[in-house]
Amino acid sequence: MSRVLAGPWAGQLLGDYGADVIKIERPGQGDDTRQWGPPWLGGESAYYLSANRNKRSVTVDIAKNSGQELVRDLVRKADVLLENFKTGTLERYNLDPQELMAANPGLIVCSISGYGRSGSRAGEPAYDAMIQASGGLMSITGPAEDEAGGPQKVGVAIADIMAGMYATTAILAALHARTATGKGQHIDVPLYDSQVAWLANQNMNYLVGGEVPRRMGTGHPNLVPYQAFPTSDGNLMLAVGNDQQFARCMEVLGAPDLAMDVLYTTNAARIENRQQLVETMRARLTTNTTEFWLSAFAECGVPAGPINHIGEVLSDGHAIERQLVRSLSSSAGDPIPSVANPVAFEGTPVRYELAPPLLGEHTDEVLREWLGYSAEMIAELRNQAAI
């Protein structure tokens, strides 16, 4: 019972791993992202298609009593209920998570919300961009503070996606715990809390060092040189992670003496003298092409890479070797492209069986399979506009 991205992303991952995922949607409208186009394919937006494979769509109007009862029937058969309504919404529709868990003691309810199920902000709605801003990410994303420009959000809804990832791992952990206890549990995954959590080293830089992290463009607060550099015909990304790599990097640039200079011999020294070193490296890197430098760095084991656009990424030879783009068939037999799940299991491979469903495509099928509803019962629910 989720829409947009955080919940659907978690549901898609679980579907990839083999779960039978039933997507409950509002009749006539469905997931908000179905309308988030262009571009479109087969009448569905690319946004919707990105997060809803390996699911079956069932339309239910939870504002109607018979729709609520239908959800309760499904929940009695389910292992997991995943929802991302604003906190308190399910209770208003007589679908209180605690009551649902009482009816199905093994049920795991995972609630994704903006600010969690407790605290003064529990009832507030939230969208990814709001969380990126208020949760600290935008304060460290964008051009360096002494350059033109200001805070920027990441180019995908990363707060939503990471909340979905946390939700997925939490659900799997709860399923594992249930094998020992026989009991389900309620999981609370706030976008805000998860956004703060994955600030990782930036959080600890503040907690340990006491200084507020700042925007550094492509630079790294704890490593130098670790950023993008211009070349004579473009740009590349250098990711020097230790002193040995730095020494090899200086050899490639024709400046081995810099690796012996006390100003740069250690990473701590390089951070202290960041600006001077970066300016020296920039002057040298602009003397030749991206291809030249990438080849030279690769030969010496210095981590560096091109800055590819998405078209280059998805058509690259490595992407083809790894089958990073898959094709699924819609119910009409039309091909639907999909980006592969990155996990490769040896014994239980990720499945690519169901294209993102049309709105309500599987309503009758699921009510027959899961609940044993007769054609007459389904017809009556449809007459009541409950499905």
Q: Residues 291-313: pLDDT tens digits?
A: 999 999 999 999 999 999 999 99
pLDDT band of residue 178 (cuts 50, 70, 90) is very high
pLDDT band of residue 386 (cuts 50, 70, 90) is very high
Asked if 71 contacts 95 with a C-beta cutoff of 8 angstroms, the reply is yes
The domains of the chain, with CATH numbers, are 6-198+315-383 (3.40.50.10540), 226-307 (3.30.1540.10)
pLDDT band of residue 326 (cuts 50, 70, 90) is very high
Residue 175 carries which side chain, given as an amino acid letter? L
Nearest to 52 by CA among 41, 38, 63, 68: 41
Across the range 359-374, mean pLDDT stands at 96
Cβ burial 302-333 (10 Å sphere, 16+ → b, else e): bebeeeeeeeeeeeeeeeeeeebeeebebeee
Across the range 327-339, mean pLDDT stands at 93
How high is the pLDDT of residue 331? 87
Q: What's this model's pTM, rounded to 2 decimal places?
A: 0.91
Alpha helices per DSSP H over the chain:
6-16, 46-49, 65-77, 89-92, 97-103, 128-134, 158-181, 191-197, 200-209, 243-252, 267-272, 274-285, 290-300, 310-315, 317-321, 363-371, 375-383
pLDDT band of residue 121 (cuts 50, 70, 90) is confident
Across the range 21-43, mean pLDDT stands at 95
Please give the structure tokens belonging to residue 168: 């997925």
How high is the pLDDT of residue 145? 85
pLDDT tens digits along 129-148: 999 999 999 999 999 988 88
Query: 160 catalytic, yes or no?
Result: yes
Task: Tell me what percent of the residues of the chain surpass a pLDDT of 90.
Answer: 93
Give Cα separations from 368 to 70, 104, 374 (angstroms): 12, 20, 7
Q: Which one of 16, 61, 128, 160 is the catalytic residue?
A: 160
